[in-house]
Amino acid sequence: MKTLNSLMILAGGKGTRFKEYTKNIPKPMIEVLEKPLIIHIIDIYKEYGVKNVYILAGYKQDVIVDYFKNKYEQVMNSHNSFRYEDVVVKILDTGLDTMTGTRILIGLDEVKDNNFYLTYGDGLCDVNIAELTKFHLKTESTVTLTAVNTPERFGKVQIEDGRVTNFGEKTTINKEWINGGFFVVNQEVKKYLNLKNCIFEKEPMQKLSNDDKLHAFQHDGFWQCVDTIRELEILESKLLEDNSI
């Protein structure tokens, strides 16, 4: 089944809800079973054939760079690019205080594929990436998100026939689906982004929804973000139980 070549990981935020760790390291570098969260994420996509990973870094990005520099071979004649097994990982400086939409726009200068994957650097999911990709290509969506079920504190996604009809960041609507990340994105998303520090999850995604360009792939399986020590413990327990994630 067809999958895509490139992945962007949003990894530049300050992770203020998890200061026990993020005062020293960016949240994607928090270790989960002795391996940084960002490596777990790359491993998921690597299994589906992704060859190019772009880390949209910012806060304490030197920690990410130093990790790869100390463990993996640097790609010849390429600044902050490293070879992780059969994947090329490039770390991009997208700014300290940049919002998610603008980070993505900066990343688009590097990603030339018509469709690519995008996810957050602070959560894992056992969604079938091949099926997610198939759904995205079938719907001809500009952005497809993976919708998951989780507690009330997250923004809700209202879905009808696979199409997102209402995207409310941290607001309550009828359905119990929320944005779990693990996106597939088309280059057309550029029209919805700008360099004025736009937040991807607000105006851009609401406009995409209004234009019928935002779809949701509903996933009933495992998903866990890491915002607290308790959530980290839950994730580690699940990984110990299930080797498929």
List the chain domain ranges: 6-241
| 195, burial (CB in 10 Å: exposed 0-12, middle 13-18, buried 19+) | exposed
Q: Token pair of 226, please?
A: 């890491």
What is the arithmetic mean of pLDDT over 162-172? 69
What confidence tier does 151 reach under pLDDT thresholds 50, 70, 90? low
CATH of 6-241, one of 1.10.3720.10, 3.40.50.300, 3.90.550.10, 2.40.30.10: 3.90.550.10
- Banded model confidence at residue 169, pLDDT cuts 50, 70, 90: low
Q: Model-level pTM greater than 0.85? A: yes
Residue 230: CB atoms within 10 A of its CB come to: 9
89 vs 68: CA distance, rounded Å: 9
| pLDDT tens, residue by residue, 191-228 | 999 999 899 999 999 999 999 999 999 999 999 999 88
SS3 content of the chain, % helix, strand, coil (to 5): 30, 30, 40
Closest by alpha carbon to 201, among 224, 179, 227?
Answer: 179
Is the pLDDT at 157 greater than 90? The verdict is no
Can you tell me whether residue 120 is helix, strand or coil? strand
